Structure 1
Amino acid sequence: MSMKNKRMKIIITGATGMIGEGVLLTTLCHPDITEVLMVNRRTSPLRHPKLSELIVKDFTDLDAHSGQLTGYDGCFYCAGISSFGMNEEKYNHITYYTTMMFAKALAYLNPDMVFFYLSGVYADSSENGKIMWARIKGKTENALNTLRFRAVYSFRPGFIIPLKAQDNVRLIYKGLNLIYPFIFPNQTLTYDDIVTALNRILALGYKEKILEIKDLKLIAKQHGSTKQKL
C-alpha cells in the first residue's frame, strides 16, 4: 500500500530528550504530516496546532491508552538512554524490553504502521560483539523486524546539528557543533535530513531496513529540503 500524497499522522517518543526534541520540532514543520502525538513520561511545555500529548508512565503497559494510540501511520521511536554508568541488565530492560513492549502494542493497534527506531551508528546486528550497548541496540533492531508492522526501519544517525529552538542540547554537543560538521561533513546530518528521509520512506518505502548516514543523506537529497526555519 503506497501512502504517497496522503496526509500522515505520526507518534513520537523521546520528545523530551535531545534527538527526540529535534525530530519533533522538525516534524511539526513538515507539510505532509498533519497530526503528531508525543508519548512522554513527563509533560512537555511545547504547544503547536498539530501537536497533542499522551502521558504514559510505563511504556510496557499501554492497555489503558489503546484508543489514543490507534489510527496512526508512523512512529518515530526516539526514546532511549545513554549506557554510561549503567549495567547490562538495566540497559537491556530500557533499550530492548521497553522498546519491544511498546512496539508490540503499536503493531497490534496499527498493523499498517511504519515503525522507525532510533538506533546508533555502531549498533551490532550480530549481537555478539564486545560493546554492550551496541549488542543490545543490534538485538533490538533485529527483534523489531519480526513484528507485524507494514515495515520497520532502524535509523543510525551520526552527529546531528542542533536546532536553535532546542532546549535539550548538552553543552559538549554545542561545543562539538562548532567543529565537527566542518571536519566530518559526511558523518553529519541535520534534523531536516532525518525527518525528510523518514517521511519519504514512510510514503514510498526503501530497500534497506538499516538507515545509515549515507542512506538518510541520499534520500533527503532526492526529496529536497523542507526548508522550514526553526
Structure 2
Amino acid sequence: MRVLMFGATGMVGQGVLRECLLDSGVAFVQTVGRTPTGLANAKLRDLIHPDLWHYGAIEGDLTGFDACFFCLGTASAGKGEDEYTRVTYDLTMAAAQALARLNPHMTFVYVSGAGADGSEQGRVMWARVRGRLENALQRLPFRRVYIFRPGVIQPLHGIQSKTKSYRLLYRLLGPVLPLLRRAFPGRITTTERIGRAMLRVARYGADKQILESRDLEELSA
C-alpha cells in the first residue's frame, strides 16, 4: 500500500506515521507539508510544499496512492469563523478535491473531532465548520471516505503536541490518562490506535463513514 499523509508533524500525524512505517504492508509513505518530519526511513519521502491551498505545481507527485491520511488541523481558539474556515474547510478541500481527481480509487481518511456538527446549523462555530467539511468530503468521488472523530487522545511513544497549551495539559493529565481509559472505555483513544484504525479502514473498509472514539478502539484492537 502507498500512503499519502498530511499533518505528519502534528501529534496525531506523528502517531499515524509511526504505525505506517512499522507496518510491513505499507510500501511507501509520502508526507506533504511545510516542514520535514526529520525522520530517516527507506520507505518515507517528505514533500515540502509551502502553499497548502494550491497543488497545481506538484500534481505529478500526488498520483498513484492507495490511501490519504489527512491529520492536519488547527485549534479554533482566537480565530473568527472566516479565519477558521480558511485554515480548516478551505485548506482541506483544496487538497481533497485535487486528490479525488488524481486518485479516484483512493481511500481518504480525515481526522475531525468529537462533537462536529453534521447539521451545519449548530451554535458552536468550530463544530459547524467541521461538520460542513465532513459533509463536503463525503460527497467527493473517492473510492471511500472515512471521518474519524476522536475525543481525548493519549499521545504515546514520546509524541508531543505542537500546541504549547496542549503540551501542558497532557503533562498534567499524563499520569492519569491510562486510568481514565480503563474507567471510560471508548471515550479516550491513543495516537497508536488512531494509526492502526486508519490502516485497517484503508485495507478493509468499515461499516459506516463516520467513526467515533469507540469505533476507533474496536477497529484498532
TM-score by length of 1: 0.88
Q: How many residues align?
A: 214
Show the counterpart of 2:6. 13
Shift of 1:137: 0.5
CA contact (8 A) 1:9 1:73 kept: yes
Could you tell me which runs of 5 or more consecutive residues in structure 1 were left unpaired when the two chains were aligned.
1-7, 222-230
Shift of 1:201: 1.3
> Does residue 136 of structure 2 align to residue 116 of structure 1?
no
Show the counterpart of 2:20. 27
- 1:58 is aligned, of 22, 26, 51, to 51
Aligned partner letter, 2:208: E
Deviation digits for residues 180-218 of structure 1, max 9, x if unmatched? 331234312123322222212111211211011111111
Identity, % of aligned positions = 43
Shift of 1:127: 0.7
Show the counterpart of 2:148. 155
| SS of match in other structure, 2:61 | helix
> 1:29 & 1:17 partners in 2: Cα distance?
18
Deviation digits for residues 117-162 of structure 1, max 9, x if unmatched? 0100110111111110011010000000111100111101122221
TM-score by length of 2: 0.92
| SS of match in other structure, 1:59 | coil
> 2:122 & 2:175 partners in 1: Cα distance?
33
Worse-superposed segment, 195-204 or 63-72: 195-204
Show the counterpart of 2:175. 178
CA contact (8 A) 1:21 1:168 kept: no
> 2:15 & 2:201 partners in 1: Cα distance?
19
CA contact (8 A) 1:14 1:79 kept: yes
| SS of match in other structure, 2:127 | helix
> 1:57 & 1:155 partners in 2: Cα distance?
26
Show the counterpart of 2:88. 95
> Does residue 33 of structure 2 align to residue 40 of structure 1?
yes
Aligned partner letter, 1:208: K
Deviation digits for residues 32-66 of structure 1, max 9, x if unmatched? 11111010112332221111011111122111111
Show the counterpart of 2:190. 190
